[in-house]
Structure 1
């Protein structure tokens, strides 16, 4: 059985990332995150990829930390 709390954790991470990049539309943000994740994993963007929630959650945490780090250096 899947961890039901993953939905809230992943949604919270996406919300925090979106707050850092509020100039993007929601779907633009999601597509960018998906493409960046696939590129990081495969080295190129595939159209059909199975993304595991736990791996994507870790990617989102890293992405958010990078964004926050960039903001602190500005």
Structure 2
């Protein structure tokens, strides 16, 4: 009998991974993960077939992990999640006090009063950068903020204050 405790462990891993890619539909996520697993494991589960479109016949494939044991899938998901965690930690380390101060200066240039600069605001800026660094590097985020108009910077600081 298979260990029933594997179910919450595997679902928790899928949940964490999916949270980092919220724009994916669930089946997109699963299909992407299956393709990665297959690529990393000598094309395990890759099934080739031929399709005919009128007179033209072409080869295609799909991934079938029906026979993959849950412990192997769980190990793959754990390793995949570990890679994501490492990347998140690296990005978070790039959010230095100097980076936060640089953004504060950009907001002050846009008309924010210096008395509004608090530790709480700086923490919210850090949280904003952490969240947005899923999509862009910290360097790219800085460039993006610098290229905003003064009005857009004001809008951004108001958004950050509500985080």
Fold-level match, TM-score > 0.5? Answer: yes
Moved more, 25-34 or 41-50: 41-50
The separation in 1 between residues aligned to 2:68 and 2:45, in whole angstroms, is 13
Name the residue aligned to 1:41. 41
In proportion to residue count, which structure has more helix? 1
Contact between 1:39 and 1:45, CA under 8 Å: does it hold in 2? no
Name the residue aligned to 1:13. 13
Q: CA deviation at 1:45?
A: 6.2
In proportion to residue count, which structure has more strand? 2
Are positions 1:51 and 2:71 aligned together? no
Q: CA deviation at 1:25?
A: 1.2
Are positions 1:67 and 2:101 aligned together? no
The number of equivalent residue pairs is 74
Name the residue aligned to 2:22. 22
Moved more, 34-43 or 12-21: 34-43
- Normalized against structure 2, the TM-score is what? 0.42
Q: CA deviation at 1:44?
A: 6.8
Q: Which has the higher contact order (CA 8 A, sep 6+)?
A: 1
The separation in 1 between residues aligned to 2:46 and 2:40, in whole angstroms, is 11
The runs of at least 4 aligned residues of structure 1 exceeding 6 Å deviation read none
- Normalized against structure 1, the TM-score is what? 0.87
Q: Deviations over 1:35-63 (max 9, x none)?
A: 11111111476033421100110000010
**Cα RMSD for the two superposed structures:** 1.6
